[in-house]
Amino acid sequence: MKDYSGRQVPSFLCLMALAGGFGPPARSQTAAHIALDSVDELLDPGRFEGAPEFNAAAGRVLETSFELANSRLRETDDGSEQVSGATLTVVASDASSAFIGHVGNARAYLLTERGLRQLTSDHVEYLEAARTRLTRALGIDDEIETDILRVPLKAGEVLLLCSHGIYSALDEGEIVAVMGAPDTAAACRTLAETAAARGAGGDLTVAAWRVPGRSLDEGAVTPGGLGTKAQGKGKGHRRRWVVALLAVLIIAAGTVVGLGLGLNWFKPAAKKASSVHAPKARYVQGDVLKVDTSGGTAACYMTDYPGGPDQVRLYDGWKVRVLSTMYAGGKRWYRVEVTEGPSAGKEGYVKESFLAPSG
C-alpha cells in the first residue's frame, strides 16, 4: 500500500492492492505475498515522469504485474493435489483516472454524487444452494486473463476496494450510507466491524481513497451520493486528505493477509448475511437470455451501474449473456453482455424483469 502524493510530479497518487491466497494455510499466505510483491515491484512511481506517461503506461504495467505474479505462482506449484493460488485486485490512480487490474472476487467500487458504481465483475460461478466457486485466479494456469479498466475520476469521489466478506454482508445502500461520511478511515472500520458483527467470514478487508480537490458541485450532493462538503483550498486541505489516505492505507495493509484465509478455489463461498434479505437470483453467470418487455410498459435500457441513467436501449428478442448478478435498490440486476443485435459486445446492467430464458 503506497501513498505517492508527496512527489514533485504528482502523476501517481495512490496504489491500493488486495490479494487473497487460497489452498493450504502456509501456501495461501505465501501466494498472497507473491501477488502483492509483484505489483509493488513493477508499479514504481519512478516509471512515470508525469501525468501523460502515467496515463499512457499504467494499464500496460498493471497487466504485466499480473502476468508476473501468475508466472511466479506457477513456479511454486509442487504438483500436489492441493490447489493453491491467489486472487488480486489493484487500483492505481492519479487525480483524473483510476487504472484497475482484477482477477477474482474482490470488488472495486466508485462512490460518486449519483451513487455507488461497481467497477469490477466477480469471477465466480453460481451453484445450487447459494454456493459459488472461483472461475479465475492467479497460479492455476500458465496463461491468465486479467480485466484491465480505466475509470475517469472527479474531485471528491471515493474509490473503494473490498473483499467478499464486506459486500456479502452489506448491501449497496448500506455501503453508500457509511462511505458518505467525511472520515474515510473511520468509514472503512465501520464497514469491517458491521460485516464481522453479521457473521461474515474472515476476509474482511476494505480500503478507500477520496480523490483530492473540491467535492462535486462545491459540496452539493444528491440523496444517496457523496456525504461530504467541499474542503478549503491550500496546504491545510492537502494535509487533511493525505492524512486520511495514510490512515486508510495502514488499515488495508494490516488486514490484507487475512483475506487469504477466507477464499477457496472451487469451494463454497460464504452465504449472504441473514440480515440482508435479497431474493435468490433467477439466473446465473453464463446463462444466455433474451430481452422481453412484454411484462411491463417500460422500454429496456442497460445502465453503467444499477439504478443509473439509461444508456443503451435493448429490444425484444435480443440475446444477452449474464456476467454477474447484484441486488440493489430493492431490485435484482444482472451485468450482461449483448451477444446479438446492433449493440453486440456492449456490457451493462439490466433489471431482472426485462430478461427471460432464450429457449
Residue count (the chain): 359
Residues 258, 292 within the same domain: no
Where residue 329 falls among pLDDT bands split at 50, 70, 90? low
Q: Do the domain assignments include residue 216?
A: yes
Contacts (Cβ under 8 Å, ≥6 apart) of 47: 53, 57, 61
Percent of the chain residues past pLDDT 70, beyond the cut: 75
Q: Do the domain assignments include residue 51?
A: yes
Residues 180, 327 within the same domain: no
Q: Which domain holds residue 89?
A: 2-262
Where residue 354 falls among pLDDT bands split at 50, 70, 90? very high
The pLDDT of residue 328: 65
Q: Do the domain assignments include residue 340?
A: yes
Residues 100, 35 within the same domain: yes
Residues 128, 36 within the same domain: yes
Contacts (Cβ under 8 Å, ≥6 apart) of 254: none
Residues 249, 169 within the same domain: yes
Where residue 159 falls among pLDDT bands split at 50, 70, 90? very high
Tell which of 228, 247, 262 closes a domain. Answer: 262
Q: Do the domain assignments include residue 311?
A: yes
Residues 103, 157 within the same domain: yes
Residues 172, 301 within the same domain: no
Residues 158, 204 within the same domain: yes
Are the C-beta atoms of 226 and 156 separated by less than 8 Å?
yes
Residues 192, 54 within the same domain: yes
How many domains does the structure of the chain reveal? 2
Query: Tens digit of pLDDT for each residue in 21-53?
Result: 988 887 888 999 999 999 988 987 777 777 888
Residues 164, 292 within the same domain: no
Residues 80, 216 within the same domain: yes
DSSP string covering 243-282, please? HHHHHHHHHHHHHTGGGGGG--TTSPPPPPPTTS-PPPPS
DSSP E strand stretches across the chain = 2-3, 14-22, 85-93, 97-103, 107-112, 115-118, 124-126, 132-134, 147-152, 158-162, 206-210, 288-291, 300-302, 312-314, 319-328, 331-338, 347-351, 355-357
Percent of the chain residues past pLDDT 90, beyond the cut: 40
Q: Do the domain assignments include residue 270?
A: no
- pTM score, whole prediction: 0.63
Query: Tens digit of pLDDT for each residue in 74-104?
Result: 988 766 667 789 999 999 998 899 999 999 9
Tell which of 228, 244, 262 closes a domain. Answer: 262
Where residue 349 falls among pLDDT bands split at 50, 70, 90? confident
DSSP string covering 107-155, please? EEEEEETTEEEE-S---EEE-STT-EEES--BTSSSS---EEEEEE--T
Q: Is the pLDDT of residue 191 over 70?
A: yes
Tell which of 211, 228, 262 closes a domain. Answer: 262
Q: Do the domain assignments include residue 188?
A: yes
Residues 293, 226 within the same domain: no
Q: Do the domain assignments include residue 34?
A: yes
Q: Do the domain assignments include residue 20?
A: yes
